[in-house]
A and B are shown apart, each in its own frame.
Chain A
Amino acid sequence: METLSLIGTTNRKGQVITDPRVMMSEAPRTPSFFTGSEVIKEAVRRANVDVMVAYPITPQSEAAALCGELFAEGYIGDYFRGESEFAVMSQCAGAAFGGARVFTTTAGPGTLRAMENFPMWAGSRLPIQCIVTCRGINSPLSIQPDTIEIAYLMQTGMLVWHAETAQDFYDWILKGYMVSEEPDVHLPLALCCDGFFVTHTKDTVDLTPVDMCLPPYDPYRSPVPCMDMECPPVRMMRDPFVMKSNYISYATHASWQQEVWAAAERSRKHTIAWLDGLIETENVDADILIVSSGTAVSQGREAIRLLADEGIRVGLVKIKTLRPWPEEELREATKHASHIIVPEFNVIGWLARELKATLPYTERIIAGPRVCGGMTMPPEIIVEEIKKAIGMRSGVLAGRGS
C-alpha cells in the first residue's frame, strides 16, 4: 500500500487523509484552551493511530485514558490497558512488528521499568511513538516533575525530542510520526515533556482541523520486513549470531548498532524540515546565552526579560531534539558566547554534561541552576546564576541556604 495515494480519501472514522505538509503548515488552525493531556488526545485524534496500549502512572494517566475515549469514538483501531510498563512496551513492539502505527505514554518509574524494551525497539527499527511526561524516579516516592529519565532515554538509540509547550507537543506528535516512519530513519521516538508543567496546565494551542488526519503508516516502507507473513519468509540466517563467538558475529552486532545510530543521524534532514531546525535561537550574538530544553526554556525566557529590564542582554538557545544531538547547530549558535547558562530540572545536569562533551571552551558552560524533586525554577535563580557568572552582586534569595 502506497499511502500517499490515499490522500483525499477517508479513514475508518471518516477523516480526510491529508498531505501532512498541507495539514501542518497550510490548513487553518483553531485556537483552543486545553490542558497538555487534552492536547495529546487532540493530536492522537488526527494521527491515524492503529494501536495504543495504556497503563496508569502519574502524570500521564489522564492522557492515556483520554486516548481510550478516542478508541471508543472509533479514532483508534485497538486500545487496551497492559499490565505493567514492561509489558506495555512489549505489546507496543508486537503491534509495530505486525505493521501497526503505535502510540503509548509513560512517565518516571514507568520509563525505567520499561527500559529494556527501548533499545530493543530501536534495534528492531520499530517507529513507535512514546510520550514521556517526565517525573521523579527516586526513592522516597515522588510524583513531581523532574527530567532525569531523559538521561537514560538518550542512550537507547531512540529519537528523543523535548517539548517546551503544549503547542510543541501537539505539532510534534503529528510531525514525529512523519520523521520516525521515514524508511531511512524508522526508529522509535521518545517525545518528552516536563510532567505537570505541561500536562496539567492549560494553554492556548492552535489545532489543525478535526476532519483531517495523517496518511496511515505503510509498513512496507520499513527497512526490515514486517512480521505479517505478507512477504516471503526466507530463512533469516544460517547460524544465529547469538550462539557464535566469532568475528562475523561481532561485526554484525557492531555494524547494526552503528546503523541504528546512523539512522538517528539521518533523521536530521527530515526533522530540520518539519521542526524548522533542531534548535531555536534568539539573540545569539549576545555575550551571555541561556541554553536549555523543555520548560526550563520558558523559565529562561522570563529570566531574559528580567535581565533586559536591568540592561543586561542575554540570548537564548532552545534545544528541540536531544537525539539526534544538534552539535553543529549548537557550536554555531554559541560561538560568540562567553557565558553559557544551562538551567535544568534534574539533579545530575545531563544537558550541561552533553554540552560540555561537544562544545569547545567548556569553562564557559555553567551547569545550572538545577532544581529537582518537583521544585519549581523561579526565573530569579537563573538571573542570580547569570549575575554570578559575570561577576555582578545579586540579592540573596530566600530559602537558598544563606
Chain B
Amino acid sequence: MSKERITISPDLYDIMPPDYQDLVNHATYGKEDRGWKDIGTSKELLEQHSLCAGCPESMAFRYILAALPNPEDTVMVGSTGCTSLVFPHVAIHNIHSLFGNQNAVASGLKRALTVRFPNRIKDVVVLAGDGATVDIGLDMTLQAWFRQEKFTTICFDNELYANTGGQESGLMQKGFVAKMAPVGKLFDKVRLPEIARESGCHYIVNCTVSKPSLVERVVRNAVLIAREIGPTYLQLYTPCILEIGKDSQEGLQEMRDAEKPNERFAFKEYISEPAKALLADIAAKAKDKKAAAKQLVS
C-alpha cells in the first residue's frame, strides 16, 4: 500500500477522526529506519489498548509495531486471548478467526498474497499467546514450519492462560500452582525454541521484552529472514503480572529477573546458515549506504 492510499481528501479532512488525521500526518509508514526510537515522536500503530495497567504485553506490542520493517505492507494474524483485545486498535490489517489456528490462517494468507502480488513484498506476522501457539495450535504451528511457510511466528509467552483467568499451559514452569494444576504443574516447560529449530525455523530467539532495542533487532531480523528464506520464531516473555501476583509497576523487574544468565528467558538466538548469510548481506548493504551518505556529506 502506498502512502497515497491513506491520505485524506482536503474537503473531508476536518470530518475525519483525529486518530486518523494523526495517522496520516505522523505515522511511520514507509520510513526506512523506523524503530523503537520513533515511540514518543511519531504516531504509533497502536492506538490505546485494553490490557491491564502495566501489562508487559502492551510494551511488547508497542516495540514490535515500531520495529516492523514494512508496516504498510504487513498483515498480522492473531488468535484468541489477551492479544485479541489489542488487535482491534492496531493500524495494520489483522485477522482474528479462531483459537489456535493462527499459523494455518497465516499459511493461506501468505500464499494468497504471493499469488495476488507476485512482484511486491507482503509480510505476514503471527502474534499469539502460548496457549494458542503451543497447546491447542501446536499441530498447526509445527506444520507451518515443516512446510517452510515464509512468515514470522511470535509467541507472547506469559506461561499460562491469562485471558481465561490463569490456567496451566504447556509453557508454564514445572511445579507452578495454577488453576487446572491444583497440585502444581507436573511436567517441564515445553522446549518450543528447540523444537522450532528441529522443525526448520531459520531464526529463533527466546528473550524478554525488557529492552526495546533488542526487541527491535530480533523482530526486524525475524521478518526479513521469513520474507526471504523461511519460517522464523520469537518467544517473548510477557509475564501476566495479575496471575503471578505482581503489581502494575513490577512487570519490568520481573522480566529483568527472568532474563538473568541461566534463567529461563536468558537471551538465546539461533540463526541458520542461509539466514546468517542474509543478515551479513543486509549489514554490508547498510554499511555501504552509510559510507556513501557520509561521502556525500563530506
Contact = CB atoms under 8 A, between A and B. Distances in A.
Interface of A: 50-51, 53, 77-78, 80, 82-84, 86-88, 90-100, 102, 116-117, 120, 124, 225, 227-240, 242-243
Given A98-B112, A235-B47, A90 B101 contact: yes
A191 to B, nearest CB: 20
B181 interface: no
Given A231-B5, A235-B91, A243-B50, A82 B72 contact: no
A77 B106 CA distance: 17
Given A51-B112, A93-B97, A243-B85, A80 B147 contact: yes
Contact of B93 (A50, A227, A243): A227
Contacts of A229: 1, 72-75, 92-93, 122
B95 interface: yes
A236 B108 contact: no
Interface stretch (B113-121, B241-249, B277-285): B113-121
Contact of B115 (A92, A100, A233): A100
6 contacts: A51-B112, A53-B108, A96-B108, A102-B108, A117-B101, A240-B50
Given A93-B108, A230-B5, A120 B98 contact: yes
Contacts of A225: 93
Interface centre among B1, B48, B75, B109 (most CB of A within 10 A): B109
Contacts of B147: 80
Contacts of A87: 101, 104, 139-140, 143
A211 to B, nearest CB: 22
Nearest to A78: B111
Contact of A233 (B92, B97, B104, B109): B92
Contacts of B107: 80, 91, 94
Interface of B: 1, 5-6, 19-20, 47-48, 50, 72-75, 77, 84-85, 87-95, 97-98, 101, 104-117, 122, 139-140, 143, 147
B6 A232 contact: yes
Given A87-B139, A116-B98, A229-B72, A95 B111 contact: yes
A281 B47 CA distance: 58
Contact of B75 (A53, A227, A242): A227
B108 A233 contact: no
A91 B5 contact: no
A228 to B, nearest CB: 6
Contacts of A240: 50, 84-85, 87-88
B84 A242 contact: yes
Dominant secondary structure of chain A at its interface with chain B? loop
A230 B116 CA distance: 12
A165 B238 CA distance: 56
A91 B95 CA distance: 12
Contacts of B109: 94-95, 97-98, 227
Nearest to A121: B97
A53 to B, nearest CB: 7
B91 A234 contact: yes
A88 B107 CA distance: 10
Contacts of A242: 84-85
B116 A117 contact: no
A96 B112 contact: yes
A94 B48 CA distance: 27
A90 B98 contact: yes
Contact of A98 (B90, B97, B108, B140): B108
Nearest to A77: B115
Nearest to A231: B5
A235 B90 contact: yes
Contacts of A230: 1, 5
Given A120-B98, A235-B19, A237-B88, A91 B105 contact: yes
A86 B84 contact: no
B1 to A, nearest CB: 5
A53 B140 CA distance: 14
B75 A93 contact: no
8 closest cross-chain pairs (CB), A and B: A94-B108, A98-B112, A90-B104, A95-B108, A77-B115, A94-B105, A100-B112, A90-B101
B255 to A, nearest CB: 25
B107 to A, nearest CB: 5
B290 to A, nearest CB: 29
A83 B89 contact: no
Contact of B105 (A83, A90, A243): A90
Contacts of A93: 97, 101, 105, 108
B90 A120 contact: no
Contacts of A83: 104, 139-140, 143
Contacts of B75: 98, 227-229
Contacts of B84: 240, 242
Contact of A94 (B89, B95, B143): B95
A96 B101 CA distance: 15
A266 to B, nearest CB: 24
A225 B91 CA distance: 13
Contacts of B114: 78
